[in-house]
Structure 1
Amino acid sequence: MSIEVNGVAISDQAINVESAYHKLADTDPREAQEQAALALTIRELLRQRATEVGLEVPEDETGLDAVIDQLLEQEVEIPEADEATCRRWYEQNPERFRTPDLAEVRHILIAGHPEDLEERNQARTLAEQLIEQLQADPSAFADLARAHSRCPSADSGGLLGQVSQGETVPEFEDAVLRLPVGLSPQPIKTRYGFHVVEVLQHVPGTALPFEAVQAPIAEYLEAVSRQRAMSQYIRLLAGEADIKGIKLDASDSPLIQ
C-alpha cells in the first residue's frame, strides 16, 4: 500500500504498526490496515496544515497530538447548543426523554430447551393446561407457581415485580408490556420455555422535565456538531491536497471520533 500526502510518503511499516490500534477481536486484518492507513493519512494532512499556519510541529510523533488539538481548536468552529436548540431537540424527540413503561407481573415458567422439540411441546401443553385451571380458579396462581415454575420467583408465588424494557429477555418484555391487565389467554414463548403470565398492573412512563435532561442533550448535540465540523474541515484540506494511494473519507476515521 503506497500512500503519499503532498509528496510525503506513509510507509507500509508505519501502517502495520498503526493497525495494531485498530484491531478488535472480530476485525478483519485488512479492515484494520485500511483504518490505520486512513488515520495516518489524516494525521499527516493535519500535521502539514499545522506547519502551514505557523504552529510549532515536533519532528517526531512526541507532542503531535497536542499540536493537532491546538490546530483544530484554532480552525474548527464548534457551534454551542444553546437552550433553544436543546429545547427544540427535546420537543422533537419526546420518546427519548421519559421514564420506561412498567408492568407488574407474576408468571409460571415451564422450562423447555429450545433445541428439544419434544420438551418444548410438552412445556407448551402444560402451560396451556395451567391457564385453563387459572381461568377456572384465579386464586390458584401462587400454588401452581410453587409447584411448576422453574424460575426462582416460584418461591414468591411467581411474583416478578415490576418489569421494564432491558430487564429480562426481549421476547418476554415485549409481550408483557403489551398485554392488558389480567391473565394472558396464551402462554408466552421465550428461549427458556413457555410462561403463564398474569399482568397485575401497568405503570406508564412519564416525561422527564427539560431541565433534567438539558445538559446531556447539549453534550450530545455538541458532539454531533463536532463530528460534522471535523469531517467537513478534513474534507476541505483533502480537497486542496495531492493525496495518492487512498480515498479519504473523513467520516470513517477513528482519529476524529
Structure 2
Amino acid sequence: MEEYFSMNSPKFDAIEVSHILLDDEGKAKEMISYLRDDPDAFAEMAREHSIADTKDSGGVIGKVLRGSLKPDIEAKIFNAAVGDLLGPFASLDRSCFEIFAVTAKYPAQLDEDVASEIKRLLREQWLMTRAQEHIIEAL
C-alpha cells in the first residue's frame, strides 16, 4: 500500500474551493475584477449573483479530489495558491461562466480514507487482471 501511495500520491491531493456561476461573460469579467480588489466579498457576491445551487452557502463547493473537475480547470486550480481567484471559465456552449476561489489545499497523506481507497483500487486492478486471464466462450 505504501508503495502504491508513493507512486500515485498526486491522485490523492485535495483542495477546498468556492465558485460563482454567472450567465453572462461581461458580468463574469466584472465580477472577477471586483473580487480581485475585495476578495473577502466572495461569499456575499456568490449569494447575490451566482446562479449555482451553492449560492445559499456563499458558493462553497467544499473539498474536491483530483479527477472531480474538468481537466483544464482542474490543472489550474490544483496549481493555484490558497486565496487565488481563477476564471472566468466558460462552459462548452458559453452559456455560463465560472469563477473559483481556492480556500484550502490538502496534500495527499496516507490516512485511513486514502488507505481504503487504495485497497479498493488495488482490488479492482486485481479483479481486472484475473478477468483477462480467462476466456469465456458462449455455447
Normalised TM-score (structure 2) = 0.68
- Contact 1:143/1:157 (8 A) holds in 2: yes
Indicate the residue corresponding to 1:151 in structure 2: 52
How many angstroms apart in 1 are the aligned matches of 2:105 and 2:21?
Answer: 21
| Greater helix content | 1
Instruction: Using the TM superposition, give the Cα deviation of residue 132 of structure 1 relative to its aligned residue in structure 2, in angstroms.
Output: 1.2
Indicate the residue corresponding to 1:68 in structure 2: none
- Contact 1:172/1:190 (8 A) holds in 2: no
Is 1:205 matched up with 2:105? no
Residue 195 of structure 1 is aligned with which of 98, 112, 136?
A: 98
Q: What CA deviation, in whole Å up to 9, does each residue of 1:131-159 have, x standing for no partner?
A: 11112222221221122111011111111
Q: What secondary structure is seen at the aligned counterpart in 2 of 1:152?
A: coil
How many angstroms apart in 1 are the aligned matches of 2:119 and 2:16?
Answer: 31
Is 1:179 matched up with 2:80? yes
- Contact 2:77/2:86 (8 A) holds in 1: no
Q: What CA deviation, in whole Å up to 9, does each residue of 1:101-141 have, x standing for no partner?
A: 21111111113xxxxxxxxxxx2222111111112222221
Indicate the residue corresponding to 2:129 in structure 1: 224
| Greater strand content | 2
Residue 15 of structure 2 is aligned with which of 103, 110, 131?
A: 103
- Contact 1:171/1:190 (8 A) holds in 2: no
Instruction: Using the TM superposition, give the Cα deviation of residue 202 of structure 1 relative to its aligned residue in structure 2, in angstroms.
Output: 0.8
The structure with the larger Rg is 1
Instruction: Using the TM superposition, give the Cα deviation of residue 203 of structure 1 relative to its aligned residue in structure 2, in angstroms.
Output: 0.6
Instruction: Using the TM superposition, give the Cα deviation of residue 215 of structure 1 relative to its aligned residue in structure 2, in angstroms.
Output: 8.7
Is 1:133 matched up with 2:38? no
| Count of residue correspondences | 133
* Structure 1 residue runs without a partner (length 5+): 1-86, 112-122, 231-252
Q: Are residues 95 and 207 of structure 1, via their aligned partners in 2, closer, same or farther at CA, if it must alter by over 3 Å? A: farther
- Contact 2:5/2:110 (8 A) holds in 1: no
Q: Are residues 140 and 205 of structure 1, via their aligned partners in 2, closer, same or farther at CA, if it must alter by over 3 Å? A: same
Q: What secondary structure is seen at the aligned counterpart in 1 of 2:54?
A: helix
How many angstroms apart in 2 are the aligned matches of 1:214 and 1:143?
Answer: 41
How many angstroms apart in 2 are the aligned matches of 1:147 and 1:178?
Answer: 28
- Contact 1:110/1:126 (8 A) holds in 2: yes
Normalised TM-score (structure 1) = 0.41
Q: Percent identity?
A: 27
CA RMSD of aligned residues (A): 3.6
**Bigger relative contact order, structure 1 or 2 (CA pairs below 8 A, ≥6 apart):** 2
Instruction: Using the TM superposition, give the Cα deviation of residue 217 of structure 1 relative to its aligned residue in structure 2, in angstroms.
Output: 3.7
How many angstroms apart in 1 are the aligned matches of 2:37 and 2:119?
Answer: 52
Q: Kindly report structure 1 stretches of 4+ aligned residues shifted beyond 6 Å.
A: none
